[in-house]
Structure 1
Amino acid sequence: MDRNSSTERTLTSLSESFERYLQDKGKGRAGDGGNYRRNAARELERFAGWTAGDRGADDWTGIVPDDADRAPTFEDLDERIFREYARHLAGDRGLKQNTVQTYYRYISAWCGWCVNEGYLEAHYAQRASAMAPLPEDSGRKPGDQQAWTSEQRHALTQHVDARARAAVETYTTLAEDTNLVDKQRARYEALKAARDRALVVVLAYTAVRVGELLRDPNDPRRRGVRWEDLSLEDGSMDVYRKKQQWDAASLPDPVISPLRSYRRLMDPPTERWPVFPTFDQRTLATLVQDELADRGEQPAAIDERRNEYARDLLLTLDEDIRPPSITTDGARSILQRLSDTADIDIDHPKHDYLAPHGGRRGMGEVLVRAFGYTVAARYLDNSEEMVRQRYSHIEAGELGDVATDALEAVDDVDRS
Structure 2
Amino acid sequence: METTDSGPSPTGKLLENALDECIRSFDGNYDGDPSEIDGNYPRNLHRVTSKWITWCGKRETHTLEDVSVRTMQRYASHLEQRVRAKQADSSKGISASSAWTYYNYISAFLSWAVRWEYLAENPAEKERAKKEMPSRSTSNSGDQQFWQPEQRRAIMDYVDEQAREAIDADGMDAFEQVRNRALLAVLAYTGVRGAELLADSRDSRRNGIRWGDVDLEDGYLDVLGKSQDEEETALPEQAVEPLRRLETLLMPPNEDWPVFPSRHPPSLYDAIDNSEHDRPDGNPWEFVLERDIKPPSMSKSGARTLMKRLSKEADVPLEDSPKDYLTLHGARRGVGEKLYREHGAAASQRTLRHADPQTTSEMYSHIEASELAEDNTEVFENE
Band the TM-score falls in, shorter-chain normalisation: 0.5 to 0.7
Secondary structure in 2 matching 1:142: coil
One of 272, 284, 299 as aligned partner of 2:256: 272
Question: Deviation at 1:284?
Answer: 0.8
Alignment check: 8 A CA contact 2:221 2:232 kept = yes
CA gap of 1:243–1:289, structure 2 versus 1, over 3 A, is closer
Give the structure 2 partner of residue 334 of structure 1.
Answer: 306
CA contact (8 A) 1:143 1:392 kept: no
CA displacement at 1:246 relative to structure 2: 0.2
Kindly state the Cα deviation for residue 279 of structure 1 after the two structures are TM-superposed. 1.0
CA distance in 1 between counterparts of 2:288 and 2:359 reads: 43
Q: Counterpart amino acid of 1:201?
A: A
Deviations 1:378-414 (A, max 9, x none): 11111221111011000000011111111135x3xxx
1:140–1:381 distance in 2 versus 1, CA, 3 Å? closer
What is the aligned partner in structure 1 of residue 369 from structure 2?
Answer: 396
| Superposition pairs of residues 3-82 of structure 1, within 5 angstroms | none
Q: Does 1:355 align with 2:327?
A: yes
Question: Deviations for 1:209-246, whole angstroms, at most 9, x for unmatched residues?
Answer: 11111111111111111000000000000000001100
Which residue in the other structure is 1:161 paired with? 160
User: What SS does structure 2 have at the residue aligned with 1:369?
Assistant: helix
Q: Structure 2: give runs of 5+ residues left out of the alignment.
A: 1-89, 92-135
Displaced runs of 4+ in structure 1, greater than 4 A? Answer: none
Q: Does 1:380 align with 2:352?
A: yes
The one-character-per-residue Cα deviations of 1:99-125 (angstroms, maximum 9, x if unpaired) are xxxxxxxxxxxxxxxxxxxxxxxxxxx
Do the aligned residues in 1 keep the contact of 2:196 with 2:206 (CA within 8 Å)? yes
Q: In the alignment, which residue of structure 1 is the partner of 2:147? A: 148
Cα separation, 2, equivalents of 1:202 and 1:193: 14
Change beyond 3 A, Cα 1:403–1:386: same
Q: Which residue of structure 2 lines up, in the alignment, with residue 343 of structure 1?
A: 315
Q: Which whole-Å CA distance do the structure 2 matches of 1:349 and 1:155 have between them? A: 14
Is residue 236 of structure 2 the alignment partner of residue 252 of structure 1?
A: yes
Matched-pair contact (CA < 8 Å) for 1:194–1:258? yes
Q: One-letter code of the match for 1:148? A: W
CA distance in 2, matches of 1:347, 1:384: 31
The answer to whether 1:314 aligns with 2:286 is: yes
Q: What amino acid does structure 2 have at the position aligned with 1:202?
A: V
Q: Distance in 2 between matches of 1:398 and 1:342?
A: 32
Amino acid at match of 2:305: S
- Per the normalisation by structure 2, the TM-score is 0.62
- In 1, the alpha carbon distance for the partners of 2:211 and 2:306 equals 21
2:220 to 232, 236, 243: 236
Letter in 2 for 1:198: A
Q: Is the 8 A contact 1:146 1:348 kept in 2?
A: no
Q: CA deviation at 1:370?
A: 0.3
**What are structure 1's unaligned runs of at least 5 residues?**
1-93, 96-137, 173-186, 412-416
Distance in 2 between the 1:289 and 1:324 partners?
12
Does structure 1 retain, via aligned residues, the 8 Å contact 2:138–2:362? no
Give me the whole-angstrom Cα distance separating, in 2, the residues matched to 1:170 and 1:140. Answer: 48
Structure-2 separation of matches of 1:169 and 1:271: 28
Partner residue, 2:169 = 170
Aligned residues: 248
| C-alpha distance in structure 1 between counterparts of 2:228 and 2:273, whole Å | 35
